[in-house]
Structure 1
Amino acid sequence: MSTGGAALARGVEFAAGAVMLLQWLALGAWAYSWLTSEAQGTAGMPPLGHDFRVYWTVSWITTHLGALAAFDTATLGALQHQFFPAYTETGRWLYPPTYQWLIQPLSAMPYRWAYGVYASVSVALYAAAVWHWRSQARWPWLVVMAFPGLWIAMMAGQNSVVTLLLMTVALSCSASRPLLAGVCGGLLVIKPQFAVLLPLWWVCGRQWRALLTMLLTGGVCCALTLAWEGWSLWGAFFTSVSKFNAEVVQQGGGGIWHAMPTIFAFARLHGATLPAAYALYGAVAVPSILFAAWLWATGASLSLSVAAAIMATLLSQPYLLYYELVWLIVPLLCLGAPNVGDRASAIRPPDPACSSDGLSAWLGGRLLAAIWLLPLQAYLAALWTPMGQWGVVLLPALMLMIVCRARRPALSMPA
């Protein structure tokens, strides 16, 4: 390792540590302000894990009033105001019965304790999700754990770390441990929009055991919820999602487009009609899906296949919020894996002076750094809307980088 390379590696770790410290300070300040507001009855301060409060409230409703009552907006809103009086905004319940069943025990603990358990489990699940690809990329743990996507997801109180683990295991283990991969794929019925492309990847890759296990697992989960509450709960779920899509996703109710780093939201924000916005979204999503399918069909390296599948899944969501960007850590690690010569090269682009394609390497390194910071930028853009969602450009750019790596097999990590 050159002296310059070692210094750059130390600089990257120092910068990551500084970002992590700032995030911890922000979380601590938020927690203190929230607890103080709750004690004094000060209005306007959202609880730490502001979406987690919806899960906790739905858990209470499911236990005390019945599962179907969670889809009654008046009931859900009134109880959120009762349990969290300092925060006047209310959240909706848009999850399928498979997830509602899973979270029912949450309200057995006071909210503060439940959130503490959630935060601890999220960190552990995140570490498990990145374990394999971090070792392949040889990134320092500090750089991986400081990734803003983790802390933004925790601050929002969202389940995106759970879906990250399920998707990563499903994609990474479909050939080596197909039963485990299939079970993880099937469990994605808790957030089914992220699972719809998995069968395509596995059909293209001829991963039949994983596919059959996924279908069986998902079917059992749905059957259990039907036995639990019957079809009426599923009917309420579909009705709620349809209404939310029409009023919020398509029409931008509540300013939701400012929190969505998608081509669809960008187009609608800038005056595009609904058909035009869907056409622009499709122009990015369809080629991404086809490219990822091609990688799986042709037996490309596992690192590129996993990275492309995750990016195609994200780009195929017209409704995607900033906290889902925790998924980006795995494509980043997969793209970091080719440079395995030493610790420094795994977290920086090659030295332009030593590369025949120095400009491309320099730009690629800056793109990866921007993607690493993107979840934080996306969250800040939701708070200060003039900033805009940079993911509209950066997410397709990362997919394009994967395409370029696939065309340069010498730079791709062996599966």
Structure 2
Amino acid sequence: MGLLSAIRDADWLTFQRVRAYALMLGVAAFALLAMAWIEATGETGSDFLAFWGAGKIAAGGDPALVYDLAVQERVQTATASRGWFAFVNPPPFLFPAAPFGLLPFPLAWIAWVAVGYAVFVWAGIRAFPRLWPLVLVYPGALIAATHAQTGLFVGALLIAAVHRLDSHPVRSGAMVGALIVKPHLALLWPFWLAAGRRWRAFAAAAVCVLALILVSWAVFGTATWLGYRESWDASADLMRRDAAEFYLRMVSLYAQARLYLAHPVALGLAVLLTLATIALAVRSWQRFTGDARASGALLVAASALASPYLFSYDLPFLLFPTLWLVEQGRRHGFRPFEKLALVGLYFAPFALRAAALPLGLNLMPLASAVLVWLVWSRGGREPDMRSEG
């Protein structure tokens, strides 16, 4: 009974111990980031090469060339990297990328990760000030940092947009609109905002999208937007290769289904899942009686299942539903086995990516589904009031 109780209730996992574990994790994270920088600035290269290359080309005065694969290859391989990456983000992304293109690649990598982590931590701590140690060392953010990817910036937008929805709806909507740089991560937002009748945020998001399109068109020109359309072929080519290693780096149901099923079947499953997540996001307002923070936790968790095109480095936003559940547990009492389940979900974006290649399957879609269920099941019930621990 002692062992069962230790697993079921995990009363030994106090917040004081969590802070100590977070410190140890932070030391390990710093070492991992140092190793990632050494690898990124060597022959292996880094995903960040695409953003840096685009920023360098745009700052050089001919932004239309950011989508020219030959130009990108020449710019990126000049850093001593043997590999290079296509730039496939829409033109508004050039606004944040261009300043980093003015720096040498090794310094730009450090600056990109430092700024991204700072913005992410700021958004996370504003949303969960009492859980700041868990924000600082979130493994989902660490994997985005080691890749020097966009997940830290996008995660900050998603977290801040939910957190600020009721207090600053226009600002929240503008942050949703800024997700035009990663539009597939905003898939559920129009349905969710409309269902919650958050019309000011809805309008602000639409205005922000339109403004970013028009301003980027004015600054970077028509040729850049036409080049972006041509870049879609680069993304499509990756999907056409049907490489198992590529799919294992993805965290969508579609990608894992493609390992074993034909494309039409996998796509059909993905469409059904997307429709299901839309329904959950819409219904969450009723489930949580209009509580935007709770409903937003469901929305953000479901966003990890909604898109068929998603990678581990896109998942820092899962901090919000994970810590929302921790917040609810500390405030109203943890359910049986919930503490250890949350520990597993906290580490899942990093751990399941590491395990994917050895296992031959990325289990992150399953973890995301569990996270959605845990959030959903917190609604429509009377809380079991306990003291925080």
Same fold (TM over 0.5): yes
Structure 1, unaligned stretches of length 5 or more?
A: 39-43, 351-360
Aligned residue type for 2:17? G
Moved more, 313-322 or 398-407: 398-407
Determine if the alignment matches structure 1 residue 256 to structure 2 residue 246: yes
Alpha-carbon separation, structure 1, partners of 2:244 and 2:112: 27
Question: Aligned-pair distance for 1:409?
Answer: 4.4
Q: Is the 8 A contact 2:166 2:292 kept in 1?
A: no
Out of 269, 274, 284, the residue aligned to residue 263 of structure 2 is 274
Q: Is the 8 A contact 1:247 1:253 kept in 2?
A: no
Aligned equivalent of 1:404: 377
Alpha-carbon separation, structure 1, partners of 2:360 and 2:293: 33
Aligned equivalent of 1:355: none
Out of 336, 347, 354, the residue aligned to residue 373 of structure 1 is 347
Q: Is the 8 A contact 2:139 2:349 kept in 1?
A: yes
CA 1:232/1:412 → structure 2, altered by over 3 Å: closer, same or farther?
A: farther
CA 1:74/1:279 → structure 2, altered by over 3 Å: closer, same or farther?
A: same
Question: Aligned-pair distance for 1:411?
Answer: 5.7
Q: Is the 8 A contact 2:173 2:204 kept in 1?
A: yes
Aligned equivalent of 1:113: 107
Out of 87, 92, 96, the residue aligned to residue 98 of structure 1 is 92
Determine if the alignment matches structure 1 residue 389 to structure 2 residue 362: yes
Aligned equivalent of 1:354: none
Alpha-carbon separation, structure 2, partners of 1:7 and 1:169: 28
Q: Is the 8 A contact 1:301 1:412 kept in 2?
A: no
Determine if the alignment matches structure 1 residue 288 to structure 2 residue 288: no
Q: Is the 8 A contact 1:248 1:254 kept in 2?
A: no
Aligned equivalent of 1:70: 66
Q: Is the 8 A contact 1:182 1:209 kept in 2?
A: yes
Moved more, 384-393 or 174-183: 384-393
Matches of residues 231-250 of structure 1 in structure 2 within 5 Å?
Answer: 231-241=222-232, 243-249=233-239
CA 1:251/1:311 → structure 2, altered by over 3 Å: closer, same or farther?
A: farther
Aligned equivalent of 2:320: 330
Alpha-carbon separation, structure 1, partners of 2:314 and 2:294: 20
CA 1:27/1:248 → structure 2, altered by over 3 Å: closer, same or farther?
A: same
CA 1:71/1:302 → structure 2, altered by over 3 Å: closer, same or farther?
A: same
Task: Give the secondary structure class of the aligned counterpart of 2:336.
Answer: helix
CA 1:244/1:157 → structure 2, altered by over 3 Å: closer, same or farther?
A: same
Matches of residues 79-228 of structure 1 in structure 2 within 5 Å?
Answer: 79-83=75-79, 85=80, 87-135=81-129, 138-139=130-131, 141-228=132-219
Alpha-carbon separation, structure 2, partners of 1:161 and 1:18: 21
Alpha-carbon separation, structure 2, partners of 1:93 and 1:32: 22
Question: Aligned-pair distance for 1:107?
Answer: 2.0
**Cα root mean square deviation, aligned:** 2.5
Q: Is the 8 A contact 1:259 1:381 kept in 2?
A: no
CA 1:29/1:173 → structure 2, altered by over 3 Å: closer, same or farther?
A: closer
Alpha-carbon separation, structure 1, partners of 2:71 and 2:292: 47
Q: Is the 8 A contact 1:265 1:318 kept in 2?
A: yes
Question: Aligned-pair distance for 1:97?
Answer: 0.5
Question: Aligned-pair distance for 1:196?
Answer: 3.3
Aligned residue type for 1:88? R
Residues 48-84 of structure 1 show CA distances to partners (whole Å, capped at 9, x for unaligned) of xx1222211111222336112111112211221112x
- When the two structures are superposed, what TM-score results if normalisation uses the length of structure 2? 0.88
In the comparison of the two structures, how many residue pairs are matched?
A: 376
Question: Aligned-pair distance for 1:288?
Answer: 2.1
Alpha-carbon separation, structure 1, partners of 2:17 and 2:339: 14
Alpha-carbon separation, structure 1, partners of 2:353 and 2:201: 35
Aligned equivalent of 2:28: 22
Q: Is the 8 A contact 1:170 1:181 kept in 2?
A: yes
Residues 294-349 of structure 1 show CA distances to partners (whole Å, capped at 9, x for unaligned) of 123564323321111112222111010111121111111111122335xxx9xxx7
Q: Is the 8 A contact 2:67 2:87 kept in 1?
A: yes
